[in-house]
Chains A and B, each alone.
Chain A
Amino acid sequence: MNRRAFLRSAGASLLLPSIGYPFGDVTRVDVAELDLPGTSSRPSAWKRLLYEVENTTSVEVDAEAVRVDPADPELFEHPFTTLIGRDAFTIHEAGIEQLARYLAYGGFLFIDDTSGLDGSPFDEAVRHLVARLFPTRRLDPIPRQHSVYRSFFLLQRPLGRIARHDHLLGVTVGNLTPLIYCRNDLSGALERRPDGRFVHPCVPGGESQRREALKLGINLILYSLTANYKRDQAHVVALKRQGRLE
């Protein structure tokens, strides 16, 4: 047991018996960035997001994002992965093969286009990647009733640093969507400087838009953990009864 784990377990058992931690760091929810040539890295954005997840939800997190090669078996240690960028990227065949297997067996991939452009080189590369990962499925708009819009917050639009697109894209297999693609630069809304200030302004909505982007990020984490849980009958009926869901 490492020092941090010991302190956590001591705290859990002695001070805060009802506030606990999963066994071992690796059981915590974290974010892994796919390390591919041409892609970007925004660990501060994920740290900010996971901090918010920890404070807002019951999910226990490890806020330190890691970068992992899609061909590395370590990928399977991190069921939530991201792929962000603005430029074209390449991925080798071994990475495709393992990433497809990862998504088939429970992994989740969030792709974020940070360019803010329609038809960016990154977007083109993403569509090519999706076609190779899911040869028989399409990247479709995610409908408003999808669980990702209600996995924790009730969201109307998927906002990020920008608000160009009013929907997310995704690949759905059965009742699950293991790949979700945002073209509004979600990570850009969350990226922070070392001094704590946000790197990018959110346009056109400013801080309220950033707040919505944060809520979307939380929903993405919760969706990767609970999948279509919020479409269970008990939730739908209760939310409709309370008038929070149409």
Chain B
Amino acid sequence: MNALLGIGAGELLWAAPPWLIWLATATAVVAFLAAVPGARSPWARFGESLCWGVALVTTVLLIAQPTWVEESVRTEPGRVVVLVDASASMGVVENGTPRNEEVGPLLEHVRGQVDRIEIYHFGDTLRPGAPARYDLPGTDLESALDALAERMTGERLAGVVVLTDGLDRGPLRRRFQTEERPTPPTLLGPLTLYQVGDATELHDLAVRSIDTSGYAFLRSPFTIRATLHGAGMEGETIRVKLLQDGAVVTTRRVTLDDEGRAEVRFEVVPERAGRFAYEVQVPLYEDDAVPTNNSMPVVVRVVRDKIRILQVAGAPSWDVKFLRRFLKGDPSVDLVSFFILRTARDMDARYAEEELSLIAFPYFDLFSTDLWTFDAVIFQNFDYEPYFGQRGAMLLENLRDYVVDKGGALVMVGGDRSFGLGGYSGTPLAEVLPVELDPAERPNLAPFQPRLTEAGQRHPITRLTTDPRENGAWWARLHPMDGTNVVRRPHPDAAVLLEHPSLEDADGSPLPILAVREAGKGRTMALTVDSSWRWSMSEAAQGRGNQAYLRFWKNSLRWLMRDPTTSRVTVDTARENYGIGEDVRLVVRVRDPSFAPLEGAVVKARIEGAGDRIERSGVTSAAGDVVLVVPAERRGTYDVHIRATAGTEDIGEAQTVYAVTARDPELDEVVPDSTFLAALAARTDGLYHGPGSFGPVRIDAHAGRDVLERREIALWRSPWWAALVAFCAGLAWWIRRRAGLR
């Protein structure tokens, strides 16, 4: 029968769904029963019923879609699979050429030994084909072998060939390094390992890691610790540099131990608050295998523990009292005050020194060694000459350098011992003041109401309230000042925030009362009156508290300390250091002149570092902020420059810095691990071929794979079945008509 149908041994399957078969059967039965009634001869009844029965049964069978299935198994010879390590360590340069250039000849060598090979490459995952680049992250041989076993289910391979430097980052190598009898990986065939790369030809000096606490306190020492490794440089002494913002801060010499390792520590005393990029750098020699790992950046956030302020007053006064009271009351301020309680003319022989609680003014220490520990120095009606004596010029030079070079802040408050009256004209200190001094100054003692300048209306120091109109009203109603120093003119770089309503300076402009200036890295402020305390008491007298006074001085401190809140445009990132592959979210905030959130400002960001230049842009939301996302793709320090505009108005700029510091573990270790490869081969009864060796591939001659062949014959597709149905139905209809039925 099978021969008749042209089929062999197999199995009959019904392809149609059961519900269709049952529906067809039921329909056929109903049709048959409908055809049987009617008067006719027994032969006619028999003949018609037989024909209908054959036609309907055949139709049901056709609908059931009978299919004949034949299956057979065939065995093919085993294949050899080659796994090529495509991780970044395979790109290490040895003797001027990348390590991976050995892969091509090795593949040819394998091809020459076996007929059927399939090539895959791997890093942390298995991918088909030979690698186009050697930059995959991680090297996980065990994962690759597991993925291969899954892919080749049921197949026994003739051989598994691995081309690698042995720098496996997965659990397999760790097991072989730590366990006496490590569990071997899943293998579908005998293993042959070809080592790529030669340890004897490798020299690589690398900064492996940098450790900081992430943040440091201003003017407090903190340590940057770096671990180094020099492959092929054991016992050598090298110079390690610490750079800050690209400039060398210090250098250390360290000697690598027998395993090529060393640790170096740098102690740094940050002199300014903010974010600063440091970089540890080792020398780059000509034959260095991985030049990119010879330096490592890290960004450290320097925070203020407290703002440390030195207040020096020439005499106690109400002005001194109220400023000290404000500074002492601010928990963020560490205040050191020195008031001159007695001058040479106050020496009274009636009182012995033992009766007095006075101490010597430690001016020399304060303005030499201790000066650098302060964030701000306030000279409040203080004349230096009686105390500094011959050292005056030197100590005032220190103060100037403290501002210009160290970023310190300086405030000079008026009085009969200040500005020109204090003898500061022509001194180094005068070079950094926001006002030019008159050596023959004559103060003006007439009360006056200071007037807010145009710059003062916008400046954060004189912004007592956020509403500009209200702010102007506040300044207009404050208590008049009792008199003022008369300076020559504002410095060309200064911004005058308050001016005299009637007096003029040497140029005929309104006399500056409050002026500020950026002097080098630091900021300075000149307030030419000694009665700002009245802004506290007069407001309190009116039942309005002392907010005007407190805000003025708090604003001043913030501006002097470069508090970010005193800028209309700010940019920040959640962290200072990012790992490769992470997203860096730049949060930009833009404020209007009253420092309310500004919606709709266009923000453009330029991010530069590690040879990259990335640009981003966005528009601020109703909250005045916009988040710009930049991927951290390459190791390095990145400078962020932000510019915000609104229409034609240039609102301002902001900067920050971050580092992509996550080390690339692939390049942490570059010396090929022949020990691991040899042990792996031994444990799996495989073959290990060292660097440059083109040994044989271990083959399992009995390996192969069973191929299942399946043949399906759709019996219902034959046209004869349709013809049979038509014939039987037609014959039944003819018999029925002959019998006189319809």
Question: Which A residues lie at the B interface, using CB under 8 A?
Answer: 1, 5-6, 9, 12-13, 17-24, 26-27, 29, 55-60, 73, 75-77, 79, 98, 101-102, 104-107, 150-154, 175-176, 211, 215, 222, 224-230, 232, 234-235, 238-239, 242, 244-245
Judge if B469 is at the interface, Cβ distance under 8 Å.
no
Residues of chain A within 8 A of B531, CB atoms compared: 23-24, 26-27
Which are the 4 A-B pairs with shortest beta-carbon distances? A20-B416, A23-B483, A24-B482, A105-B540
Binds A, one of B151-159, B205-213, B353-361: B353-361
Whether the Cβ atoms of A57 and B445 lie closer than 8 Å is no
Question: Which B residues lie at the A interface, using CB under 8 A?
Answer: 314-322, 324-325, 328, 336-343, 345-346, 348, 350-351, 354-360, 362, 381, 383, 385-386, 414-417, 421, 423, 440-447, 481-484, 529-531, 533, 536-538, 540-543, 545-546
For the complex, what is the distance from the CA of A41 to the CA of B218, rounded to whole Å?
54
Whether the Cβ atoms of B354 and A244 lie closer than 8 Å is yes
Whether the Cβ atoms of B482 and A76 lie closer than 8 Å is no
For the complex, what is the distance from the CA of A235 to the CA of B338, rounded to whole Å?
9
Whether the Cβ atoms of A23 and B357 lie closer than 8 Å is no
Residues of chain B within 8 A of A1, CB atoms compared: 444-446
Whether the Cβ atoms of A222 and B341 lie closer than 8 Å is yes
Whether the Cβ atoms of A225 and B357 lie closer than 8 Å is no
By beta carbon, the residue of chain B nearest A79 is B318
Given known pairs A9-B443, A27-B530, A175-B328, the reply for A226 and B537 (CB within 8 Å) is: no
For the complex, what is the distance from the CA of A150 to the CA of B444, rounded to whole Å?
36
For the complex, what is the distance from the CA of A154 to the CA of B346, rounded to whole Å?
17
12 contacts across the A-B interface (CB closer than 8 A): A1-B444, A6-B445, A9-B442, A23-B445, A27-B483, A58-B341, A60-B317, A105-B545, A151-B357, A222-B316, A225-B320, A226-B341
Residues of chain B within 8 A of A227, CB atoms compared: 321, 324-325, 328
Whether the Cβ atoms of A57 and B316 lie closer than 8 Å is yes
For the complex, what is the distance from the CA of A150 to the CA of B337, rounded to whole Å?
16
Whether the Cβ atoms of B441 and A60 lie closer than 8 Å is no
For the complex, what is the distance from the CA of A7 to the CA of B343, rounded to whole Å?
22
For the complex, what is the distance from the CA of A244 to the CA of B381, rounded to whole Å?
29
Whether the Cβ atoms of A58 and B325 lie closer than 8 Å is no
By beta carbon, the residue of chain B nearest A147 is B357
Q: Looking at the complex, which one of B325, B345, B359, B482 makes contact with A23 (CB distance below 8 Å)?
A: B482
By beta carbon, the residue of chain A nearest B537 is A76
For the complex, what is the distance from the CA of A69 to the CA of B448, rounded to whole Å?
26
Residues of chain B within 8 A of A151, CB atoms compared: 357
| Distance to closest chain A CB from B352 (angstroms) | 10
Whether the Cβ atoms of B359 and A57 lie closer than 8 Å is no
For the complex, what is the distance from the CA of A16 to the CA of B334, rounded to whole Å?
35
Whether the Cβ atoms of A22 and B416 lie closer than 8 Å is yes
Query: Beyond A23-B481, A234-B336: 9 further Cβ-contacts under 8 Å?
Result: A13-B441, A21-B416, A22-B317, A22-B482, A59-B315, A211-B350, A227-B328, A229-B324, A234-B359
For the complex, what is the distance from the CA of A151 to the CA of B446, rounded to whole Å?
32
Whether the Cβ atoms of A18 and B386 lie closer than 8 Å is yes
Given known pairs A20-B415, A76-B540, A105-B537, the reply for A56 and B346 (CB within 8 Å) is: yes
For the complex, what is the distance from the CA of A60 to the CA of B342, rounded to whole Å?
11
| Distance to closest chain A CB from B306 (angstroms) | 14
